[in-house]
Amino acid sequence: MSIKLTRRQFAASAAGAALVAGSAPFNIVKAQTGKLKIGSIHPRSGFQAQLGIACQRGIDLAPKVLQQLGIKADVEIMNADTESNVDVARARAEKLINDGANVLIGAFDSGQSSAIAQVAEQKGVPYIINVAAAPQITEQGYKFVFRNFPTAPMLVGDGLNLMKSVFEKSGITPKTAVFMHVNDTFGQSMAGAIKAMAPRFNLPFQIVETIAYDPQAKDLSVEIAKAKATGAELLMPVTRLNDAILMVREMVKQRWEPKIVMSPGAPGFYEGQFYKTLGKFSNYLLTNVPWYNPRSAMTQKLLDQFTKTYKGELFELNVGFSFEAVMVAVLAHNAAKSTAGAALADAIRKTNLTDHVMAGGPLQFNEKGQNVNIKSVTLQNLDQRPKVVLPLDIAEDNLTLPMPSWQKRT
């Protein structure tokens, strides 16, 4: 059977085909050069809710602050709640991508971030981790996963180095230590890193007891009793927020007063809720943690906007890293002039920002997608807020040790 076309019919068909063929790429191009849709995925309910909400504040402020800094930010923020649950995180990441997210940012927790990374890689959508330290996330050979947060070994390395600086500066050198850590992905990563790295740092103290506990523990009385019984002079806690509160409360009750309480790099002690709940008992605790650079002009701009928008809330690292994640995505979008996953990922990989919010060197990603230039600082809780006490070039206050007794605080 043969089909006969007249010359007029052939011309009409060819014109139609040309129109379809011509418009298809145009549609693709149009879809890829529009507004950047950022999927912000954090634990906004469940036991990590307060921390997820802190991250969200950094995300929400970013477009306005970037515009104030003269950076074009043509973005739409899409929000998702992981409910502090790994499986929910995975499902919400898929939904965000199905709903059109071009970039994902999140998710505060290492377990949840690992699950989201798998989804993002599979779908070819860039994922910028704002806060999560488990090293394996950027050791998988992922092409679309970037992390602007130190890995657990980086945190521990910086944390242990800063410990030695604190001992030197204060003149107090503990001989024994207890290491207490939350038993989740992050806590285990930190414990693994400390075990592997501590011998290399030639630390002056011996870890006499390691105590792991449930992240959702309702009571830490046994754990503190056990730690107190060692008579250790240094407590090294790796906590989340709620357990950090429980821990200090129990230390006060059991009147355990080690010479120094210093986190090698974990949340808890510097969170707004920690100060609100514990008041005077929150003071003098130390944390070695990546932190915002109080001397940076960009930090001051962000801080101004944060103070205006969230009166009475604390500006801390979750806000800073989340802001920077949006900034990386926006600059990549502006450079790539596309919302296509591969183009955005290429642009993110080329990021090189010397002026940014968090302390450390230029914001760059290595071949694994990891920013290796972030540096920790030593924070001390003074006047019920975190203050940088080391390194001295960006210090806001003087290191105050030894800690006064719990009973003698006013």
List residues binding other proteins (CB under 8 A): 44-47, 49-50, 183, 211-214, 216-223, 225-226, 229, 242, 245-246, 249, 252-255, 273, 277, 281, 406
In Å, what is the CA distance from 29 to each residue of 33, 267, 374? 6, 43, 36
Q: How far is the CB of 124 from other proteins (least distance, A)?
A: 33
Q: How far apart are CA 270 and CA 241, in angstroms?
A: 9
Q: How far is the CB of 85 from other proteins (least distance, A)?
A: 11
Q: How far is the CB of 117 from other proteins (least distance, A)?
A: 25
DSSP secondary structure code for residue 360 in this structure: B
Give the nearer residue to other proteins in terms of CB position, either 281 or 365. Answer: 281
Written as six digits, the tokens of 18 are: 């040309």
Q: How far is the CB of 224 from other proteins (least distance, A)?
A: 10
Give the nearer residue to other proteins in terms of CB position, either 176 or 305. Answer: 176
Q: How far is the CB of 253 from other proteins (least distance, A)?
A: 5
Give the nearer residue to other proteins in terms of CB position, either 37 or 44. Answer: 44
Q: How far apart are CA 32 and CA 176, in angstroms?
A: 58
H or E stretch covering 213 = strand 206-213
Number of Cβ atoms within 10 Å of the Cβ of 285: 27
DSSP secondary structure code for residue 136 in this structure: G
DSSP β-ladder status, 206-213 and 234-238: unpaired
Helix then strand count (H, E) for the chain reads 12, 12
Q: How far is the CB of 83 from other proteins (least distance, A)?
A: 9
Give the nearer residue to other proteins in terms of CB position, either 32 or 210. Answer: 210
DSSP β-ladder status, 176-182 and 234-238: parallel
Give the nearer residue to other proteins in terms of CB position, either 216 or 366. Answer: 216
Q: How far is the CB of 306 from other proteins (least distance, A)?
A: 19
Sheet of 286-290: strands edge to edge?
206-213, 176-182, 234-238, 260-263, 286-290, 376-382, 385-390
Contact 284, 380 (CB under 8 A): yes
In Å, what is the CA distance from 12 to each residue of 2, 20, 35, 332? 19, 12, 36, 43
Give the nearer residue to other proteins in terms of CB position, either 216 or 309. Answer: 216
The letter for the amino acid at 358 is M
Give the nearer residue to other proteins in terms of CB position, either 132 or 245. Answer: 245
Best CA proximity match to 376, nearest among 164, 173, 76: 164
Q: How far is the CB of 179 from other proteins (least distance, A)?
A: 13
List the beta bridge partners of residue 306: none
Give the nearer residue to other proteins in terms of CB position, either 140 or 277. Answer: 277
Give the nearer residue to other proteins in terms of CB position, either 281 or 292. Answer: 281
Q: How far is the CB of 35 from other proteins (least distance, A)?
A: 31
Contact 241, 268 (CB under 8 A): yes
